Amino acid sequence: MGKCEQCIIRQLNALKTLTKEELIRVSHCKTVKTIKKGEVLFNEGEYINGIFCIKSGICKVSKMSENGREQIVNLVKRGDLLGERSLISEEAANLKATAVNEMEICFIPKHEILRDLNENNSFSMSFLKEMAMSLKTNNNTVVEMAQKSVKQRLAHTLLNLAEEFGLDENGALSIHLSREDIANIIGTATETTIRLLSEFKKKDLISLKNKDIFIQNKEELRQISEGI
């Protein structure tokens, strides 16, 4: 079992502010898990009783709308924490987390995190900063959803995926999502997403080769996303 004190991942999130002793305690009570693609980490309404620290892989965080459609509200990757919100509120999870590809995660039980939050002030400040950041992104997403057309949102999403998850050696988006997942990020029907993707392709803004998406004209996509 790996030692948290020596783990590089913790440098990427609020856990970096834990002291050596705290990290050793975390090491002793954490559990490491491998999650297969498509597996559910937790569901809406479940009590998670801890937080997840993502070592590798990507996971989609979503919520079922009353209309019966899934809305993806976040994509979580290496270095991110997951489940912080529910832990702080001491409530059941409001969201569902599903692995997009194979993941390696550490699970840290609630009592340990709460203890550290109470004792270590730079840890709780660090936590606060992360939540403040999410809050900002979320506010911006609300505006995006409420005010922009589906086409604008798709353009924005493609640029975002490229920026957040990078490109592979061939220049394709390295994150691999189904059309349905993309549609569920944007908040539209799968067919509409497909139609718009092929429209973008026709205009040489992107190209599509066996399941890979290549961004060809970043600048014009940006303009579309901003409604210019």
Partner DNA sequence: CGATTGCTTGACCCCCATCAATCCTCGTGG
Partner DNA sequence: CCACGAGGATTGATGGGGGTCAAGCAATCG
Residues lying near DNA in the complex (CB under 7 A): 67, 149-151, 178-180, 187-192, 194-195, 197-198, 208, 210-211
φ/ψ of 170, rounded to 5, equals -90, -5
- Site for a copy of itself contains 187 (CB under 8 A): yes
Q: Which is nearer to a copy of itself, 120 or 207 (CB)?
A: 120
> Number of residues in contact with a copy of itself, rule: CB under 8 A?
44
The residue behind tokens 């050696």 is 169
Q: Which is nearer to DNA, 11 or 210 (CB)?
A: 210
94 contact, one of DNA, a copy of itself, none, CB 5-8 Å limit per kind: a copy of itself
Q: Please check whether residue 37 is in contact with residue 100, taking contact to mean a CB–CB distance below 8 angstroms.
A: yes
What part of residues 99-128 is at the interface with a copy of itself (CB under 8 A)? 117-119, 121, 124-125, 127-128
Q: Which is nearer to DNA, 64 or 135 (CB)?
A: 64
- Residues in contact with a copy of itself by CB under 8 A are 63, 65-67, 69, 71, 73, 84-85, 88-89, 91, 94-95, 117-119, 121, 124-125, 127-129, 131-136, 138-148, 186-187, 226-227
